[in-house]
Structure 1
Amino acid sequence: PTPNEQISALVAGIDSRNVLGSCDAVLSGYLGSAEQGEHIKRVITRVRAANPKALYVCDPVMGHPAKGCVVPEGVQKHHAEQSVALADVLCPNVLELGVLSASQPTTPTQVVCAARALLCKGAGMVLVKHLAHAGYRPNESFEMALVDAHTAWHIASPLLPFSRPPVGTGDLTSAVFLARLLLGDEPRRALEHTASAYHAVMQVTSAVDEYELQLVAAQEQLVTPNQWFTARSIE
């Protein structure tokens, strides 16, 4: 794991070259400890001081709906007490959403309620990157939701077969969504592009039944997916 102090040192080095103001976003993912979370918090403060318009997208990695939480309690507490308030975009799966909101959502409507509880704590919007059992058709579709103060969108793509589910899917989702926001997409459009690009990568990966995402083989479809999925409002 990355030594804690290197996180702050990396950004200090960028700042020393007087280019931190050109940083448009920070994306954080898995934290090995709550101490790493504190360094991330300092990074966000420093980047926003240099560029107040910079986005912070937090993927609060804590576990998987099928496996439960796999991070120390301190990391869970950091995300609940710090990350939620800092994030312009929070990207939990349904398990992580439940941990952060102290709830157990089992339907799309409950997902929206849990996400809005996080908005009340400071998050700008919540991208639930995997609804799993809380989706409309969990055995048929891979489903996501995007919730802000005024709208709630749902999107689904077909589940694909794998002998061993590939790793990095949450990282891919958070990164593509951030990229689309930085390119100027409205949130709903960014969600649709993210779901479509995600499915394209998963199709290529499923075709060769690989554990590693086939990002290079599918790189053109990250930009122009060959199949487009449409988001629908959650009533």
Structure 2
Amino acid sequence: MHFGILQEQHCRVNQVVGAWGVGREFRCKEFAKARIRSSMAPPMVTDVGLPSAGRVLSIQSHTVHGYVGNKAAVFPLQILGFDVDPVNSVQFSNHTGYKTVKGQVLDGEQLWALIEGLEANGLLHYTHLLTGYIGSVSFLETVLRVVEKLRSVNPNLIYVCDPVMGDDGKFYVTPELVPVYREKVVPVSTMLTPNHFEAEQLTGRRIETEAEALQACVDLHVAGPSKVVITSLSINNMLTVIGSHVQSKGEAPKQFRIVLPKLHSYFTGTGDLMTALLMGWSHKFPDDLDKAAELAVNSLQAVLKNTIADYGEAGALPEPKAKQLELRLIQSVNEIQSPEIKFVTEKL
């Protein structure tokens, strides 16, 4: 009935203004018909054959320029069929590899206010939660509250956690985050995607061999997540992705590796993109982490190839500036949606 009232008001305006001449009478008749239809059952929504893969709440960093954090994750997830609601843990002009960075940092209270607003409108129906860069203990503690709140609405919520803490032996967050991740976040995660350095921090063990990486995955499974992917293990001048999946409680994990050549260029946002791709492909292959990781890795490698091609060969960039190697996501839509498989999974 509300629809009919609005249309009737619109019709009256047309009669007073008279700007559409003869068309005025036609529109009023159409509005009258619409009012009658509005009292009947609403029309069926057309099925365009594009069902959503799910709805993701993505809590990560954001940059105005470039592709890191949410800027690296939202677009690929949308391409893979997800509705994505981003929350920006920080909003910076650009990533921190540039000379100057300006922007704002969201605190825990502000994050919770956003969650309260969503809840007040009945909008907390999420299938997935994705978290990336988080800069403070208080914010991470609030994320734990968010996990609890979302699971009170959907007990089957999938929580994919990229425990962004550092790389190459160095922290770029406060080390006080480590015990919070280890003791509180890991146990409630569904999938965990640490890099080499982060896996060492979470397990408290040095990882220098493939066997040690596989054992680290087992340790993390015991703590909570059924899926673990160590996204960058450097061994013998090659880059190795290590994956592990416990499909049933009490069973040994299914483990695998993907070996890649190292690219002699520096990129930002690759970990954020990799985690988003793992989430996307894992939804399509929930019981086959091997396949999901293979697709994610090949998509990522294709994006990096396109990025390098945009600036010339890597060898022509002996000391590439940060701004030179921003990921070329928009130019890689086809590779994200349907990657060519060049690097294959090896089951262990």
TM-score, normalization by structure 1 = 0.90
Q: 2:245, 2:289 within 8 Å by CA — same for their partners in 1?
A: no
Amino acid at match of 1:225: P
- Partners of 2:136 and 2:120 in 1: CA distance: 27
2 CA distance for matches of 1:205 and 1:142?
19
Report the secondary structure of 2:130's partner residue.
strand
Seq. identity, %: 27
Distance (whole Å) between structure 2 residues aligned to residue 57 and residue 220 of structure 1:
24
Q: Could you tell me how far 1:197 is from its partner in structure 2?
A: 0.5
Deviation at 1:179, TM superposition (A): 1.1
CA distance in 1, matches of 2:332, 2:163: 26
1:42 aligns with 2:145: yes
Quote the offset at 1:182 in angstroms: 2.3
Cα distance between partner residues in 1 of 2:264 and 2:173: 28
Q: Does the CA contact (< 8 Å) of 1:157 and 1:195 recur in 2?
A: no
Aligned match of 1:56: 159
Of residues 155, 158, 167, the one that matches 2:261 is: 158
Q: Secondary structure at the match of 2:223?
A: coil
- The match for 2:298 among 190, 193, 196 is 196
Partner of 1:89: 191
- 1:229 is displaced (CA, Å) by 2.3
**Aligned position for 1:218:** 332
Cα deviation, 1:202-235, whole Å, max 9, x if unaligned, reads 101111243211111112211111334221123x
Q: Which whole-Å CA distance do the structure 2 matches of 1:226 and 1:188 have between them? A: 16
Which 4+ runs in 1 deviate beyond 3 A?
Answer: none
Query: Is this contact kept in 2: 1:119–1:125, CA < 8 A?
Result: yes
Specify the SS of the correspondent of 1:60.
Answer: coil
Rounded to whole Å, the distance in 2 between the matches of 1:151 and 1:184 is 14
Say which of 258, 266, 278 aligns to 1:177: 278
Give the structure 2 partner of residue 206 of structure 1: 308
Q: Report the Cα offset of residue 176 of structure 1.
A: 0.6
How far apart, in 1, do the equivalents of 2:261 and 2:339 lie? 15
Residue 103 (structure 1) aligned with residue 205 (structure 2): yes
The answer on 1:13 being equivalent to 2:151 is no
Three-state SS of the structure 2 residue aligned to 1:83 is helix
DSSP-derived class of the 2:139 partner? helix
Q: Deviations over 1:58-102 (max 9, x none)?
A: 11011112x422221221121111111111011101111011100
Q: Deviations over 1:28-61 (max 9, x none)?
A: 1111111111110011111111111111011101
CA distance in 1, matches of 2:239, 2:208: 15
In the superposition, the TM-score normalised over structure 2's length comes to 0.62
Matched AA of 2:184: Q
The match for 2:225 among 123, 128, 132 is: 123
* 1:6 alignment partner AA: Q
SS of corresponding position for 2:259: strand
How far, CA to CA, are the matches of 1:25 and 1:92 in structure 2?
Answer: 18
Q: Contact (CA 8 Å) 1:156, 1:195: kept in 2 or not?
A: no
* Higher strand fraction (1 or 2): 2
Structure 2 CA distance for aligned equivalents of residues 174 and 128 of structure 1 = 10
- Once the two structures are TM-superposed, the CA of residue 17 in structure 1 deviates from its matched residue by 1.9
Partner of 1:168: 269
Return 5+ residue gaps in structure 2 as ranges. 1-104, 247-252, 312-323
Which deviates more, 11-20 or 38-47? 11-20
Asked if the contact 1:197/1:222 (under 8 Å) is kept, the reply is yes
Which amino acid in the other structure matches residue 239 of structure 2? Answer: F
State how far apart, in whole Å, the 2-side matches of 1:159 and 1:204 are.
Answer: 16
Q: How many residues align?
A: 225
Residue 106 of structure 2 aligns with which residue? Answer: 2
Structure showing greater radius of gyration is 2
Q: 1:18 aligns to what SS in structure 2?
A: coil
The reply on whether 1:230 has 2:332 as its aligned counterpart is no
Q: 1:145 aligns with which of 226, 229, 242?
A: 242
- 2-structure distance, mates of 1:116, 1:7: 33
Deviation, structure 1 residue 7: 1.8
Asked if 1:72 corresponds to 2:174, the answer is: yes
2:194 is paired with a residue of what secondary structure? coil
